[in-house]
């Protein structure tokens, strides 16, 4: 039974039980209608509590039903029936109340949540808008500005914030169901509190329009965030029934859109990425104390990511001075997070309380997992891992964050190499969601499973990669950059490539990214590899020439662009360098349309993606899409270059 009805005195208790996440599948909707009718027609029932079995409250509509013919009763009808109930209904929320789940709760006459619950309307992440009254009820309850923020970002709110803004009435101190029963009893005999009848809280129309414009700008081509925000604005202008009708029209249109199909591909791809053949039955090991070797930019970001996720972190640097500098760097990252409102002062203090810094590697002895983020040099890393092998427990997991070295060569110095793997973070590691979990030749299944589980606990997305130069991401990016560099030499300029790709939806064009990251590291690598370069392959010298001219990117004030007042500007000196390179290569420069630029880049990525698949480096095409979306700013609402090319 997807919905059951039990009794506790005069209170009827409706329990949804539809694992894994209590989505509102057809059986749930039908079951709710039936149980509701039964409770309402029973004169001995005075109030109703709605809760869920299992690990979470309703996490939304059943995404598996999208694209299938809709089956009655529809969710908006169930939601309306709840709100219209003659007996007060209280939602008892644990876990996550998302999408249709929050919409059910919004229609209830009271909401109680456990202290660790999370609430949100994440529909925009699936390329749609809430479809069961969310855009109309939410602003009536919490006001237009906050409702617009929630529906357009899809972010989740924790219980504390939900209580502060009035989204929930009570935080359950002890037993959730008892607290919900108590609230339900207190509502008996009162005027029913229908969210749809609440007066819209006053708000500043001008500010709301500005907020809307900001949503539209940030969405860069994705339709659903602005559509959801617009519906919230309309909630303040239209009657509830009109607003609901507008929401329905918008929902039905977007659910058919290519953007929604693409984002649903991404949703499914993320779940599939966690499923690794051979690991289905493997239980990850417990990890609590994590060592990070090296507290440069990458190491500091990794340490912060682990601190956010509740781990105890021990950071080791080579000497006292570097150790102090590392701590300052980590604290600096926290300061920025506090300033931008991402974490509170209290959280900062708690998280930093789990950090210790050392100038002696032996301090890593108690660690369950150690990750190195030291200089990307084989001799440096092998020396480190040989020593680490003697310091940590024989079963402690050892991970390298190398970007380009062969982790199997490093594994050769590790005692018990089956506990060694790659965990390749992207910079800044505390922000970027992607981590490549690199499957070394000898890694034990339990170690790989633990790597994936740790990445998931970090709130990041783990994608399995085999061993090859650059793994999945940097290998694709090399192909991507190669096409761009060829085009520079063939006739376009950096700003034209960046503009074409940014208009396509990339977060940032490759040359703007390069200027931000710095041009010197890859220059040093090219110089190191110069002797072994294949002379028969086309080699574009533009990047080298820029470095020779002292243009290392933003850190030196100039790179592919000039930055006179901090803003990127086309620089005639760069244009001259590029044109000279073309002349030296004997190339007659020709113009490119923006569409040609985009398709040449995507073709380059897809052809490298096919090789990566054929070689078994990526488990599946959708993993490649995820890497580009989460590591390189490819627009999620386009699904990914592989799916776009029809490779699934
Ligand atoms: N429908 C069907 N299955 C779902 C599902 C959903 N909405 N959400 C998760 N699953 C499956 C998932 O595929 C996986 O299955 C398992 O549950 C565990 O998920 C009208 C239109 C709830 C926070 O977007 O954010 O409501 O792979 O690995 O990390 O307005 O899942 O094991 O077979 O992600 O603990 C809005 C999406 C829908 C929520 C749990 N709701 N889900 O995270 O586990 S649209 C969402 C999540 C809507 C209405 C509209 C997360 C989670 P399998 P998991 P998790």
CATH no. for residue 503?
Answer: 1.10.1040.50
Smallest Cα–Cα separation from 275: which of 636, 615, 628, 620? 620
d(Cα 12, Cα 32) in Å, to the nearest integer? Answer: 13
Which bin fits 483, alpha (ψ -120 to 50), beta or left (φ > 0)? alpha
Residues 6+ apart with CB under 8 A from 208: 144, 145, 148, 233, 236
Query: pTM here?
Result: 0.94
If asked whether residues 362 and 431 sit together in one domain, one would say: yes
We report the CATH number of the domain holding residue 146 as: 3.90.226.10
User: Is position 35 within any domain?
Assistant: yes
Max CA pair span of the chain: 91
The angle at the Cα of 257, spanning 254 to 263, to the nearest 5 degrees, equals 95
d(Cα 425, Cα 400) in Å, to the nearest integer? Answer: 10
Instruction: Report yes or no: 638 and 261 within 8 Å, Cβ to Cβ.
Output: no
| CA of 622 relative to ligand 1 center, distance in Å | 18
d(Cα 81, Cα 102) in Å, to the nearest integer? Answer: 15
How many other CB atoms are there within 10 angstroms of residue 305's CB atom? 25
Q: Which residue has the tokens 């380059």?
A: 604
The protein residue whose alpha carbon is closest to atom 24 in ligand 1 is: 122
| CA of 3 relative to ligand 1 center, distance in Å | 19
Q: Is 437 helix (H, G, I), strand (E, B) or coil?
A: strand
If asked whether residues 343 and 458 sit together in one domain, one would say: yes
| CA of 404 relative to ligand 1 center, distance in Å | 35
Ligand 1 neighbourhood includes 55 CB (under 6 angstroms):
no
Q: Which of 256, 280, 314 is the last residue of a domain?
A: 256
If asked whether residues 201 and 346 sit together in one domain, one would say: no
d(Cα 56, Cα 207) in Å, to the nearest integer? Answer: 36
If asked whether residues 435 and 536 sit together in one domain, one would say: no
pLDDT of residue 232: 98
Q: Round to the nearest angstrom and report the end-to-end CA distance of the chain.
A: 35
d(Cα 460, Cα 452) in Å, to the nearest integer? Answer: 10
If asked whether residues 496 and 594 sit together in one domain, one would say: yes
Q: Ligand 1: which atom is nearest the Cα of residue 60?
A: 26
The two tokens of residue 221 are: 């081509």
Instruction: Give the number of domains in the chain.
Output: 3
Chunked into runs of 10 residues, the chain (648 residues) has average pLDDT values of: 96 98 98 97 97 98 90 97 97 98 98 98 98 98 98 97 97 96 95 93 97 95 97 97 97 96 97 95 97 96 98 97 97 95 93 98 98 93 96 97 94 96 95 97 98 98 96 95 97 98 95 92 89 93 97 95 94 98 97 97 97 98 98 96 95
If asked whether residues 222 and 313 sit together in one domain, one would say: no
Q: Which of 465, 492, 520 is the last residue of a domain?
A: 465
We report the CATH number of the domain holding residue 305 as: 3.40.50.720
The protein residue whose alpha carbon is closest to atom 14 in ligand 1 is: 271
Q: Which of 419, 444, 465 is the last residue of a domain?
A: 465
If asked whether residues 199 and 330 sit together in one domain, one would say: no
Ligand 1 neighbourhood includes 219 CB (under 6 angstroms):
no
If asked whether residues 63 and 160 sit together in one domain, one would say: yes
d(Cα 579, Cα 586) in Å, to the nearest integer? Answer: 11
User: Is position 306 within any domain?
Assistant: yes
pLDDT of residue 517: 86
pLDDT of residue 213: 97
Ligand 1 neighbourhood includes 21 CB (under 6 angstroms):
yes
User: Is position 175 within any domain?
Assistant: yes
Verify whether residue 103 is a known catalytic residue. yes
Whether the link from the prior residue into 221 is cis, omega within 30° of 0, is: no
If asked whether residues 344 and 460 sit together in one domain, one would say: yes
Q: Which of 10, 65, 83, 123 is catalytic?
A: 123
Substitution site in 63, 227, 268 for ligand 1 pocket (most atoms within 8 Å of beta carbon): 63
Ligand 1 neighbourhood includes 61 CB (under 6 angstroms):
yes
Domain range for residue 212? 3-256
If asked whether residues 304 and 363 sit together in one domain, one would say: yes
Q: Which of 83, 103, 270, 608 is catalytic?
A: 103
Q: How far is CA 79 from CA 124, 236, 335, 390, in A?
A: 20, 20, 43, 61
What are the start-end ranges of the H helices in 47-143?
A: 75-83, 100-107, 134-142
If asked whether residues 72 and 197 sit together in one domain, one would say: yes
Q: Ligand 1: which atom is nearest the Cα of residue 251?
A: 21
User: Is position 645 within any domain?
Assistant: no
User: Is position 629 within any domain?
Assistant: no
The protein residue whose alpha carbon is closest to atom 49 in ligand 1 is: 100
If asked whether residues 206 and 304 sit together in one domain, one would say: no
User: Is position 596 within any domain?
Assistant: yes
Q: Can you point out the beta strands (E) in 234-321? A: 289-293, 312-316
Strand partners, 464: 437
User: Is position 275 within any domain?
Assistant: no
User: Is position 624 within any domain?
Assistant: no
| CA of 125 relative to ligand 1 center, distance in Å | 12
Ligand 1 neighbourhood includes 60 CB (under 6 angstroms):
yes
């Amino acid at each position: 039974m997807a919905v059951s009805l039990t009794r506790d005195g005069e209170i009827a208790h409706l329990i949804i039980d539809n694992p894994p996440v209590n989505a509102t599948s057809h059986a749930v909707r039908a079951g709710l209608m039936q149980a509701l009718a039964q409770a309402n027609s029973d004169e001995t029932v005075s109030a109703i509590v709605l809760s869920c079995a299992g690990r979470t409250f309703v996490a939304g509509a059943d995404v598996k039903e999208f694209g299938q013919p809709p089956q009655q009763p529809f969710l908006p009808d169930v939601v309306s029936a709840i709100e219209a109930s003659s007996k007060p209904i209280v939602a008892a929320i644990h876990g996550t109340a998302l999408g249709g789940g929050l919409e059910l709760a919004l229609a209830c006459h009271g909401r109680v949540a456990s202290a660790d619950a999370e609430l949100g309307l994440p529909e925009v992440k699936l390329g749609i808008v809430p479809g069961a009254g969310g855009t109309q009820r939410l602003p009536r309850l919490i006001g237009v500005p906050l409702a617009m923020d929630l529906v357009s970002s899809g972010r989740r709110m924790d219980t504390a914030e939900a209580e502060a803004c009035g989204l929930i009435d009570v935080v359950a101190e002890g037993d959730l169901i008892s607290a919900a029963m108590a609230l339900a009893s207190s509502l008996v005999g009162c005027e029913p509190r229908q969210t749809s009848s609440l007066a819209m809280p006053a708000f500043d129309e001008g500010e709301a329009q500005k907020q809307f414009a900001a949503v539209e700008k940030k969405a860069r081509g994705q339709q659903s965030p602005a559509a959801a925000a617009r519906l919230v604005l309309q909630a303040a202008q239209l009657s509830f029934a009109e607003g609901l009708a507008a929401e329905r029209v918008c929902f039905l249109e977007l659910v058919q859109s290519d953007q929604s199909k693409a984002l649903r591909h991404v949703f499914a791809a993320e779940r599939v990425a966690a499923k690794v053949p051979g690991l289905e039955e493997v239980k990850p090991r417990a990890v609590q104390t994590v060592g990070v070797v090296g507290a440069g930019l990458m190491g500091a970001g990794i340490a912060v990511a682990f601190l956010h996720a509740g781990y105890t972190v021990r950071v080791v640097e080579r000497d006292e001075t570097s150790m102090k500098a590392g701590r300052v760097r980590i604290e600096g990252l926290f300061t920025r997070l506090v300033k931008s409102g991402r974490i509170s002062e209290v959280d900062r203090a708690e998280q930093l309380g789990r950090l210790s810094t050392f100038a002696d590697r032996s301090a890593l002895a108690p660690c369950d997992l150690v990750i190195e983020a030291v200089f990307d040099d084989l001799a440096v890393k092998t020396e480190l891992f040989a020593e680490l092998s003697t310091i940590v427990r024989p079963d402690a997991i050892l991970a390298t964050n190398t970007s380009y070295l062969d982790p199997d060569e490093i594994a050769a110095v590790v005692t018990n190499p089956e506990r060694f793997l790659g965990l390749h973070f992207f910079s800044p590691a505390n922000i970027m969601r992607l981590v490549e979990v690199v499957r070394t030749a000898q890694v034990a299944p339990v170690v790989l499973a633990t790597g994936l589980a740790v990445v998931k606990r970090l709130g990041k997305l783990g994608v399995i990669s085999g061993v090859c130069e650059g793994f999945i991401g940097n290998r694709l990016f090399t192909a991507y950059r190669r096409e761009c560099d060829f085009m520079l030499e063939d006739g376009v300029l950096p700003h034209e490539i960046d503009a074409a790709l940014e208009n396509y939806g990339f977060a940032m064009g490759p040359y703007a990214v390069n200027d931000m990251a710095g041009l010197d590291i890859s220059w040093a690598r090219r110089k190191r590899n110069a002797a072994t370069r294949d002379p028969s392959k086309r080699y574009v010298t533009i990047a080298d020439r820029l470095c020779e001219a002292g243009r290392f990117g933003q850190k030196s004030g100039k790179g592919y662009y000039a930055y006179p007042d901090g803003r990127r500007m086309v620089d005639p000196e760069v244009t001259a360098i590029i044109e000279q390179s073309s002349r030296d290569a004997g190339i007659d420069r020709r113009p490119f349309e923006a569409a040609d630029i985009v398709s040449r880049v995507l073709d380059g990525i897809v052809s490298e993606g096919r090789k990566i698949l054929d070689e078994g480096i990526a488990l599946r095409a959708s993993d490649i899409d995820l890497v580009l979306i989460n590591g390189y700013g490819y627009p999620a609402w386009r699904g990914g270059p592989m799916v776009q090319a029809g490779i699934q």
